[in-house]
Amino acid sequence: MPGNRVVVYKGPGEVAVESIDYPKLEIPQEVADHFGISKAAPHAAILKLVATNICGSDQHMVRGRTTAPVGQTLGHEITGEVVDVGDDVLFVKKGDIVSTPFNIACGRCRMCNEGKTGICLNVNPARAGAAYGYVDMGGWIGGQAEYVMIPYADFNLLKFPDRDQALEKILDLTMLSDIFPTGYHGAYTAGVTTGSTVYVAGAGPVGLAAAYAAQLLGASVVIVGDMNPERLQQARSFGAETVDLSQDASLADQIEQIVGEPEVDAAIDAVGFEARGHGEGAAEAPATVLNDAMTIARAGAGVGVPGLYVTGDPGGIDENAKVGQIGMRLGLGWAKSHSFFTGQCPVKRYNRQLMNMILADKADIAKAVNAVTITLDEAPEGYSEFDKGAAKKFVINPNGMIPQSAG
């Protein structure tokens, strides 16, 4: 039986690649005990990773900005080849190339039956919703690895129809596990539609995916705000307008210069709780983006919040921030009748349709987010470079299965 290697959090600013046991068809003991179910998982599959990506959510843990313990395995963006299945797996077969939603869902509970797979009730003792390789998300082993176990495989896995086509387009298809649906979810729930003007806060991979998704939804103008000139250039590479938040000019004034008025039809927060204020050298101010969104979104607008907010942040700027309580101007949003949509993206709601867009050559998401392939051993370097603001989406190639011609 082969071994297995996985990226592990070693303390603030440090990750390493370590050897662990080859996965078994078993769920975490804490999940089995809490829900009174069998640890054995005949409903599960084991994947040989084809591609697995570094996510900004991972970086929150690696920076020490969550309660993640040393030894936490990492990785929730998973695309792989099925190499083993349990006896109760009926429709997923060995050799299939599949995308795995980052949210783990049982397919049996009320939330799953309502399509709310980001808040499944049966996969995490701590709260509704679970994910691979993430703190307080059920103890599931991370997928920045050579192999990973996927529970409830028939429900969770999205099979690509043609293996050769999938491998050729793998840099696009690997984005289906998280950032493409998450960005799309942010735009869709903000109400982006034909002719909309849109502001996206943050030009990291999720922000870029949200901006690209807003274009797919028919937006007339998409404006991306950030302080990183390389990331802003990446946004401009696919036709987005940009505003430099390190400048002294107000966000509203910069938006007015682009669309002729100081407001937009929809706003998207792709930054989350590590937000900073405006101006060069601005300090951390976790409510900045949400307050910006309410300021520049027109009355009646929607605000999509795919950016991560946490209930435990040891590095928070004050005691309130450490428990996720931030100075949001909710009265402003109430006065303007804004709608807010938060929480994990229910990836299954969107991934099949977005897959179809990729396979039909209608979505070049890998190009939009500047996907770059690295080896598993290069993961620590990738984390470091990403943390410094690289305008790249790092795709790990753990088993050398991504062809050189992919993209």
* β-bridge mates for residue 82, sequence order: 47
**Residues 222, 81 share a domain:** no
**Residues 337, 274 share a domain:** yes
Confidence of residue 407 (pLDDT cuts 50, 70, 90): low
**pLDDT value at residue 190:** 98
Digit-coded pLDDT (tens) for 229-257: 999 999 999 999 999 999 989 999 999 99
End-to-end C-alpha distance for the chain, whole angstroms: 32
Domain assignment of residue 407, yes or no: no
Confidence of residue 59 (pLDDT cuts 50, 70, 90): very high
Q: Please, what is the average pLDDT of the chain?
A: 97
Confidence of residue 404 (pLDDT cuts 50, 70, 90): confident
Distance in angstroms (rounded) separating the CA atoms of residues 46 and 151:
9
Domain assignment of residue 367, yes or no: yes
Nearest to residue 86, comparing CAs of 44, 147, 48? 44
* Domain end residue (candidates: 310, 325, 342): 342
By residue range, what is the domain housing residue 300?
180-342
Distance in angstroms (rounded) separating the CA atoms of residues 124 and 130:
6
Domain assignment of residue 401, yes or no: no
Is residue 6 within 8 Å of residue 18, measured between CB atoms?
yes
Confidence of residue 70 (pLDDT cuts 50, 70, 90): very high
**pLDDT value at residue 3:** 85
**Residues 75, 33 share a domain:** yes
- Is residue 218 exposed (0-12), middle (13-18) or buried (19+ Cβ within 10 Å)? exposed
pTM of the entire predicted model: 0.97
**Residues 63, 159 share a domain:** yes
DSSP 358-383: HHTT---HHHHTTEEEE-GGGHHHHH
Number of domains the chain is built from:
2
**Residues 272, 370 share a domain:** no
When pLDDT is averaged across residues 336-355 and rounded to a whole number, the result is 98
**Residues 247, 134 share a domain:** no
DSSP 240-279: -EEEETTSSS-HHHHHHHHHSSS-EEEEEE-S-TT-B-SS
**pLDDT value at residue 14:** 97
Say whether pLDDT at 1 is over 90.
no
Strands 97-100 and 158-159: antiparallel
Domain assignment of residue 404, yes or no: no
Domain assignment of residue 387, yes or no: yes
- CATH code at position 288: 3.40.50.720
**pLDDT value at residue 248:** 86
- What proportion of the chain, given as a percentage, has pLDDT over 70? 100
**Residues 171, 188 share a domain:** no
Say whether pLDDT at 107 is over 70.
yes
Digit-coded pLDDT (tens) for 192-216: 999 999 999 999 999 999 999 999 9
**Residues 29, 159 share a domain:** yes
- CATH code at position 56: 3.90.180.10
Is residue 56 within 8 Å of residue 204, measured between CB atoms?
yes
**Residues 215, 156 share a domain:** no
- What proportion of the chain, given as a percentage, has pLDDT over 90? 97
Angle formed at CA 226 by CA 220 and CA 230, multiple of 5 degrees: 100
When pLDDT is averaged across residues 371-381 and rounded to a whole number, the result is 98
| HSE (side-chain half, CA atoms, 13 Å) at 384 | 8
**pLDDT value at residue 281:** 84
**Residues 377, 309 share a domain:** no
Domain assignment of residue 403, yes or no: no
**Residues 292, 213 share a domain:** yes
Say whether pLDDT at 97 is over 80.
yes
Domain assignment of residue 361, yes or no: yes
When pLDDT is averaged across residues 266-276 and rounded to a whole number, the result is 96
Say whether pLDDT at 280 is over 90.
no
Say whether pLDDT at 293 is over 70.
yes
**Residues 351, 330 share a domain:** no
